[in-house]
């Protein structure tokens, strides 16, 4: 081979070496989370959480399959609880709504008995979404299993009536949602609402796939118009960083602020469908309160469990049993984090997640209203 040819070959090889490689983008929904649970594995492995989150932090095994676990947080200075049904890595501004059809005999008053919801985009798709544009498809008095694709409904329904948005994560049929507060808040003995469940079907090349779904109700998210259509807007969820810079997912998180409506059955946060995780870099001396480590402070507090896992700017306040808890500067709301720490210590991560709020201010949140 001539020297010119060798140079040419090396040049082409070097050009190839500059090529780009895979950029990780992952979605863990309840199908992936349950699979990880069964394999005793982790989910959300990413730069932000290199080791990931044990699936057993999100789902617990039950006699019939698995059950959602309520995770602790603080929102607006009060204890809160949420459940995680999806986690996305590198999907920021890239979660869209998808259409879901409820079959009705007539224009919105009489559903087709036992007919499942009809969807087209399944849990394995990059474009899977737990955020649905609900439509009423008026199909007449038909058998419940007659339609199982949106194309068939668009072809045959006499009317398609938009019916708002709902947050309804798809689930394996054996995953349930008998919600209960986690330790140590379980000592409060506050009963949480069971999340309503349903079923959805999609056509997969002639085969009908059946899925379960949870219905967390309407108005848990807002859409923002982007160049690539209307995407679900994420609220910030703050996770405190460990000393090594990775996220400490063992302590309660802080939920960003949003609209809350007061229902007859309790306060109802009208947000929390989609969160973007922010990493909180703590200054030296900050840390979470644990009553077992500070019994004097714990005994002084009227409700010490309400402070369990709550971060303070200066953890030495836990030692002052005269002023605890009012003497502490708590990092327990978005406003506190932004004003006390400043934006420079709040860094967005590549992770977004679903996280409907099911508990707040020591009350069960009415999840489906």
List residues binding another protein (CB under 8 A). Answer: 15-23, 25, 90, 94, 96-99, 120-129, 133, 135, 149-151, 154-155, 160, 162, 202-206, 223, 225, 228-230
Q: Which is nearer to another protein, 149 or 334 (CB)?
A: 149
d(CA 296, CA 250): 24
DSSP at 129: -
Given a contact cutoff of 8 angstroms between Cβ atoms, the answer to whether 83 and 175 are in contact is no
Please enumerate in sequence order all residues whose Cβ is within 8 A of that of 264, keeping only pairs 6 or more positions apart, or say none: none
Given a contact cutoff of 8 angstroms between Cβ atoms, the answer to whether 254 and 236 are in contact is no
d(CA 140, CA 70): 40
Least CB distance from residue 43 to another protein, whole Å? Answer: 19
Q: Which is nearer to another protein, 96 or 271 (CB)?
A: 96
Q: Which is nearer to another protein, 225 or 264 (CB)?
A: 225
Given a contact cutoff of 8 angstroms between Cβ atoms, the answer to whether 174 and 65 are in contact is yes
> How many residues in total does the chain contain?
369
Given a contact cutoff of 8 angstroms between Cβ atoms, the answer to whether 102 and 157 are in contact is no
Q: Which is nearer to another protein, 123 or 172 (CB)?
A: 123
Residue whose C-alpha is closest to residue 302's, from 324, 327, 329, 330? 324
Given a contact cutoff of 8 angstroms between Cβ atoms, the answer to whether 84 and 353 are in contact is yes
Q: What are phi and psi of 146, to 5 degrees?
A: -70, -40
Least CB distance from residue 354 to another protein, whole Å? Answer: 17
Least CB distance from residue 118 to another protein, whole Å? Answer: 11
Least CB distance from residue 228 to another protein, whole Å? Answer: 5
Least CB distance from residue 264 to another protein, whole Å? Answer: 29
Least CB distance from residue 220 to another protein, whole Å? Answer: 16
Least CB distance from residue 162 to another protein, whole Å? Answer: 5
Work out the number of other CB atoms within 10 angstroms of the CB of residue 85.
28
Least CB distance from residue 15 to another protein, whole Å? Answer: 5
Least CB distance from residue 271 to another protein, whole Å? Answer: 18
Q: Which is nearer to another protein, 58 or 232 (CB)?
A: 232
Q: Which is nearer to another protein, 91 or 185 (CB)?
A: 91
Q: Which is nearer to another protein, 120 or 308 (CB)?
A: 120
Instruction: Compute the Cα dihedral for 169, 172, 176, 179 and give only its sign.
Output: negative
Q: Which is nearer to another protein, 60 or 90 (CB)?
A: 90
Beta strands 253-255 and 71-75, pairing class: parallel
Pair of tokens at residue 16: 């190839």
Least CB distance from residue 109 to another protein, whole Å? Answer: 20
**Which residue carries 């990493």 as its tokens?**
279
Q: Which is nearer to another protein, 47 or 204 (CB)?
A: 204
Nearest 5°: CA angle at 67, between 64 and 69? 160
Q: What are phi and psi of 142, to 5 degrees?
A: -115, 170
Please enumerate in sequence order all residues whose Cβ is within 8 A of that of 44, keeping only pairs 6 or more positions apart, or say none: 28, 52, 53, 87, 89, 351, 353
Q: Which is nearer to another protein, 229 or 342 (CB)?
A: 229
């Amino acid at each position: 081979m001539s020297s010119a040819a060798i140079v040419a070959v090396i040049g082409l090889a070097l050009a190839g070496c500059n090529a780009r490689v895979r950029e990780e983008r992952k979605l863990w929904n309840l199908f992936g989370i349950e699979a990880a649970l069964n394999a005793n594995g982790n989910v959300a492995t990413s730069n932000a959480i290199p080791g990931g989150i044990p699936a057993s932090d999100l789902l617990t095994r039950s006699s019939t399959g698995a059950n959602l676990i309520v995770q602790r947080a603080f929102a607006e200075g009060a204890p809160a609880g949420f459940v995680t049904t999806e986690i996305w890595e590198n999907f920021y501004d890239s979660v869209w709504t998808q259409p879901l059809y409820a079959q009705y005999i007539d224009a919105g008053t009489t559903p087709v008995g036992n007919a499942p919801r009809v969807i087209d985009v399944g849990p394995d798709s990059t474009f899977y979404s737990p955020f649905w544009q609900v439509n009423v498809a008026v199909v007449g008095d038909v058998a419940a299993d007659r339609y199982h694709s949106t194309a068939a409904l668009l072809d045959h329904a006499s009317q398609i009536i938009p019916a708002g948005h709902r947050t309804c994560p798809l689930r394996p049929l054996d995953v349930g949602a008998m919600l209960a507060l986690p330790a140590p808040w379980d000592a409060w003995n506050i009963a949480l609402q069971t999340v309503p469940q349903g079923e959805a079907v999609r056509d997969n090349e002639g085969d009908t796939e059946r899925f379960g779904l949870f219905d967390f109700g309407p108005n848990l998210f807002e859409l923002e118009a982007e160049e690539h259509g209307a995407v679900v807007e994420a609220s910030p969820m703050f996770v405190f960083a460990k000393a090594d810079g990775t996220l400490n997912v063992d302590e309660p998180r802080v939920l960003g602020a949003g609209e809350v409506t007061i229902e007859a059955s309790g306060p109802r946060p009208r947000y929390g469908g989609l969160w973007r995780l922010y990493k909180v870099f703590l200054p030296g001396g900050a840390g979470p309160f644990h009553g077992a480590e500070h019994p004097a402070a714990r005994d002084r507090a009227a409700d010490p469990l309400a402070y369990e896992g709550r971060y303070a700017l200066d953890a030495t306040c836990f030692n002052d049993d005269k002023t605890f808890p009012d003497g502490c500067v708590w990092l327990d709301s978005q406003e506190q984090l932004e004003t006390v720490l400043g934006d420079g210590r709040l860094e967005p991560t590549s992770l977004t997640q679903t996280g409907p709020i099911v508990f707040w201010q020591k009350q069960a949140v009415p999840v489906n209203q």
